[in-house]
């Protein structure tokens, strides 16, 4: 197998036959040794973090598969902390798509003049560029089209899939009385027909989940939910 990419929390390999293998690491993002899922740097290493992220990811990708929602998922090996996926081409140099149910985090920082903390949002979708140097700036549909990152037709599919998948995760968490405030996804194009599918992971580090009004840390989420 061929190593092709070292990410902050995962390493990516190409398998014989063309699939990719994602190796989940125990490194988590944060600043100065303090865990922060939104940070753009590796802050610390927590034993078991990789496996915990993969367990949640496997769970949600299998639910999505049952519902016929297209993803890159092939299978997962919890022991080895690896996931086999279909290779995808990302949009431009990579996008993050956020679905928001309550006003917190960067939404509140940007729109605090008009929004109150915790205010309900109706599966509000926004896109940011994966650009660590520029702190992942938000980008509009028009700008994405104009800059050749994705077409308007692709944007429609992306937005629809984001709401659909966000709602699946929200409903799953609600079964355990956990409320989803926001969640971040990545998408890519796969196969000859360039079908848009969900890629990467769905773990505690990609969402804000609350129970009884209190934020649940990613590693606690895995224990509480699974």
Ligand X SMILES: Nc1ncnc2c1ncn2[C@@H]1O[C@H](COP(=O)(O)OP(=O)(O)OP(=O)(O)O)[C@@H](O)[C@H]1O
Closest residue to ligand X, judged by C-beta, is: 7
CB 71 within 8 A of CB 65: yes
By CB under 6 A, tell whether 60 contacts ligand X: no
Asked whether the beta carbons of 43 and 30 are under 8 A apart, the reply is yes
Counting beta carbons within 10 angstroms of the beta carbon of residue 114, is it exposed (0 to 12), middle (13 to 18) or buried (19 or more)? Answer: exposed
Does residue number 20 form part of the binding site for ligand X (CB under 6 A)? yes
CA distance 153 to 124: 19
Contact between 8 and ligand X by CB under 6 A: the answer reads yes
Nearest-5° Cα angle at 154, 95 to 199:
45
Residues 156-215 that bind ligand X (CB under 6 A): 186, 188, 199-200
Binding to ligand X by residue 10, rule CB under 6 A?
yes
Site string for ligand X, 121-160 (x = CB under 6 A): ---------x------------------------------
Output the CA–CA distances (angstroms, integers) from residue 166 to 56, 124, 163, 206, in the order listed. Answer: 14, 10, 5, 11
Count of residues near ligand X by CB under 6 A: 19
Q: Which of residues 71-90 bind ligand X (CB under 6 A)?
A: 72, 85-88, 90
The CB-of-90 to ligand X minimum distance in angstroms stands at 6
Select the residue interacting with ligand X from 30, 43, 92, 94 (CB under 6 A): 94
* Positions that interact with ligand X (CB under 6 A): 5, 7-10, 12, 20, 72, 85-88, 90, 94, 130, 186, 188, 199-200
């Amino acid at each position: 197998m061929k190593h092709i990419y070292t990410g902050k929390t995962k390493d990516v390999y190409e398998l014989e036959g063309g699939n990719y293998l994602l190796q989940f690491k125990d490194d988590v993002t944060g600043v100065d040794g303090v865990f922060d899922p939104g940070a753009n740097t590796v802050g610390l290493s927590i034993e078991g973090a990789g496996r915990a992220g993969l367990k949640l990811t496997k769970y949600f990708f299998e639910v999505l598969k049952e519902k016929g929602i297209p993803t890159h998922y092939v299978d997962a090996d919890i022991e080895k902390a690896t996931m086999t996926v279909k290779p995808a081409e990302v949009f431009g140099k990579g996008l993050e798509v956020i679905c928001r149910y309550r006003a917190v985090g960067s939404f509140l920082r940007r729109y605090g003049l008009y929004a109150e903390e915790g205010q309900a949002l109706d599966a509000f979708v926004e896109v940011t560029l994966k650009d660590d140097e520029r702190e992942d700036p938000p980008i509009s549909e028009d700008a994405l089209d104009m800059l050749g990152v994705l077409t308007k037709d692709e944007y429609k599919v992306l937005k629809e899939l984001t709401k659909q998948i966000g709602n699946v995760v929200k409903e799953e968490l609600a079964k355990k009385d956990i409320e989803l405030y926001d969640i971040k996804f990545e998408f890519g194009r796969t196969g000859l027909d360039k079908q848009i599918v969900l890629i990467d992971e769905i773990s505690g580090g990609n969402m804000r989940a609350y129970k009884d009004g209190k934020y649940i840390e990613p590693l606690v989420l895995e224990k509480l939910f699974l």
